[in-house]
Structure 1
Amino acid sequence: MPNHSPFKQLSFPSIKSQQFELKDESTIPDGEALKVKEWEVGMFIDEVAASQGIKIRRRPPTGPPLHYVGPFEFRLQNEGNTPRNILEEIVWHKDVEVSKMKEKKPLPSLKKMLDNAPPARDFIGALKEANSRTGFPGLIAEVKKASPSRGVLREDFDPVQIAKAYEKGGAACLSVLTDEKYFQCPLLCKEFVLDAWQLFYARAKGADAILLIAAVLPDLDIKYMIKICKLLRLTALVEVHDEREMDRVLEIEGIELVGINNRDLGTFEVDLGNTKKLLEGERGEKIRQKGITVVGESGLFTPDDIAYVQDAGVQALLDYGDNGYWHRVEFNCILDP
């Protein structure tokens, strides 16, 4: 009996080259289209990730860890089920969280919410304007209460007050985890994105930009999500950590904003030399030819740090504020969050 399934007839390489293409880029895919994409990712995510050097696993390989039954047994039974670093732990939790959120707010309901979302603001334009006007990198000031590396940054956390202070202080854009309140600055929804559903959710909540992490997402996921972002008028900030991730990203069409994170994912150590290394030579030339705006991320604590990454080719900064302060070069002052 002939097999009529289009998926079973495709070999892994053909799926790898075709799986995330949108046939009509002028329309937003429906829920069934996203389900097909998720099925394809689930079938080949490990192979795709391994081929691209991605070390962050999307979910535990054999399901959730078993109950603790003693050190020796636990280690044997759960070695593969234990997150290898903090980012992998976050991704595993996020995978479960997103699945639950999708059940509560399926894609059709998000599409209805899009009708009431405010128009998307020009995220990259705001960064370029600030850079041109001041001669310094445009600042994406981040609003957050805690970080994996530093813990709680401020107990009396008032995100609205902090965001207004950043905006008043001259931040070009804001990076937030939740954006129930709207400001004049374009908003980056800083999230661990694993699923295209999150893009719809972010835009429906008023986000103007979204973060895509190359250490987590295979190229085909990034390509697919870039196309969805363009349909939704979302700016995609694609984050890289090393040469291989940068090389992967530079081969993807449609990317306009790349962030270089100077923090090592395994050790949390910061090296600003990472930015310079990734912007030298042929990579730097390709970035300039493509007109990509580069954002410096992590380890920016002093004006000298900012001058260093600016000289390397950075036009914008995403200040995570892990040291507890925000550095505003434009006004030569420091804002205490």
Structure 2
Amino acid sequence: MLSELLAGAIADAELRRQDRPYSVVEAAALARPAAIDALSALAPAERVKIIAEVKRASPSRGTLAEIRDPAALAVSYEFGGASAISVLTEGRRFLGSLADLEQVRSAVSVPVLRKDFIGDPYQVLEARAAGADLVLLIVAALDQATLVSLHDLVRELGMTALVETHSADEVDRALDLGAGLVGVNARDLSTFDLDQDLFGRLADRIPSGVVRVAESAVKSAADVAHYRAAGADVVLVGEALVTSDPIRTLTEFLAV
């Protein structure tokens, strides 16, 4: 599944590139105002922080919410206390787009994450051109040379990479990059199975100077508390927010 998602995302980017060449997107990326410092926004604090996700669908759950106005949803997330907004921009299975990200960026003042299957420098430039402050890099999807190259580009553009891992080896690869923001995803992107205890098993491998993000398997405040107790500085939440009253849910989650 992960290979399929990555290949599809790169193929879609190549189609966009035919209409908007690399040089045009690069110029747009460089013309953007400086990215917001996401590491400061997500730095460890007395209480857990939340990255709230604009997410219409997923391969494992199908359609979750229509979300006609992603900007309005993002505004409610910011009002509810989210420290950053994640926007799914993958179109085939998650029904997202770069237009969603652009709308969200124009409506909120907190950092915005482009959450997609990134494997080509063009996609990183697209992210900055659309206003992203963070870009997701999935260790399992990339060989180390490509991961290093993309991570370097993210930094050169002034953004922050959320480097996502699923195993001890992948955490070590993320740390070898010098990643300042490391996520552990409870969902295996090959099988889509969930293991909520994976974060706890890997958290001690992530040093205190690195922001630790727990991803997936969050349905309730108890799930947030579970991750917080295991050492999460930040929890990324999508489905639980788009299928409920987001402000009320964020209030409950942030009380942990």
Q: Settle same-fold status: TM greater than 0.5.
A: yes
Offset at 1:333? Answer: 6.5
Matched, 1:193 2:118: yes
Kindly indicate whether structure 1 or structure 2 has the higher relative contact order, using CA contacts under 8 Å at least 6 residues apart. Answer: 2
Checking the alignment, whether the CA contact within 8 Å between 1:136 and 1:330 is kept in structure 2 is no
**Equivalent residue, structure 2, for 1:311:** 229
Q: Is the 8 A contact 2:50 2:236 kept in 1?
A: yes
Deviations 1:196-220 (A, max 9, x none): 1111111011110000001101111
Normalising to structure 1: TM-score of the pair? 0.66
Deviations 1:262-313 (A, max 9, x none): 0122332221110011123xx24xx22xx11111000012222212211221
Deviation of 1:321 after TM superposition, in Å, equals 1.6
Q: Greater CA deviation, 258-267 or 227-236? A: 258-267
- Correspondence for 1:180: 102
Q: Which residue number corresponds to residue 332 of structure 1?
A: 252
Aligned residues, how many? Answer: 238
2:149 aligned with 1:229: no
Within 1, Cα distance between the matches of 2:247 and 2:218? Answer: 8
Output aligned runs, 1:281-296, within 5 Å.
283-284=205-206, 287-288=207-208, 291-296=209-214
Residue 142 of structure 2 is matched in structure 1 by 217
State the one-letter code of the partner of 1:262.
A
| Identity value in percent | 35
Of stretches 178-187 and 198-207 in structure 1, the one that deviates more from structure 2 is: 178-187
CA RMSD of aligned residues (A): 2.1
Q: Deviations over 1:47-82 (max 9, x none)?
A: xxxxxxxxxxxxxxxxxxxxxxxxxxxxxxxxxxxx
Cα deviations across residues 85-117 of structure 1 (Å, max 9, x unaligned)?
Answer: x22221221222122222222221123213442
Q: 1:265 aligns with which of 189, 192, 203?
A: 189
Please tell me whether the aligned partners of residues 84 and 110 of structure 2 are also in contact (alpha carbons under 8 angstroms): yes
In 1: Cα distance, 2:215 partner to 2:68 partner: 23
Q: Which runs of 5+ in 1 are unaligned?
A: 1-85
Q: 1:137 aligns with which of 37, 42, 48?
A: 48
Distance in 1, matches of 2:26 and 2:190, equals: 38
Q: Could you tell me which residue of structure 2 aligns to residue 155 of structure 1?
A: 66
1:101 equivalent among 16, 25, 35: 16
| Alpha-carbon contact 2:137-2:162 (below 8 Å) kept | yes
Letter in 2 for 1:180: E
Cα offset, 1:232, TM superposition: 0.3
Question: Given the superposition, is the C-alpha separation of residues 164 and 330 from structure 1 closer, same or farther in structure 2, using an over 3 Å criterion?
Answer: closer
C-alpha displacement at 1:327, in angstroms? 8.2
In structure 2, the CA distance between the partners of 1:317 and 1:333, relative to structure 1 (3 Å rule), is closer
Distance change (3 Å), C-alpha of 1:327 and 1:313: farther
Q: Which residue of 2 aligns with 1:302?
A: 220
Structure 2 contact 77–247 (Cα < 8 Å) conserved: no
Tell me the SS of whatever aligns to 2:251: coil
Partner secondary structure for residue 141 of structure 2? coil
Q: Is the 8 A contact 1:145 1:157 kept in 2?
A: no
Distance 1:246 1:300 in 2: 21
CA 1:322 to 1:270, structure 2 compared with 1: closer, same or farther past 3 Å?
farther
Counterpart residue number, 2:5:
90
Unaligned runs of 5+ in 2: 90-97
Question: Could you state the TM-score of these two structures normalised by the residue count of structure 2?
Answer: 0.85
Q: Which of these two proteins has the greater Rg computed from alpha carbons?
A: 1
2:35 maps to which residue? Answer: 120
The residue type paired with residue 301 of structure 1 is: K
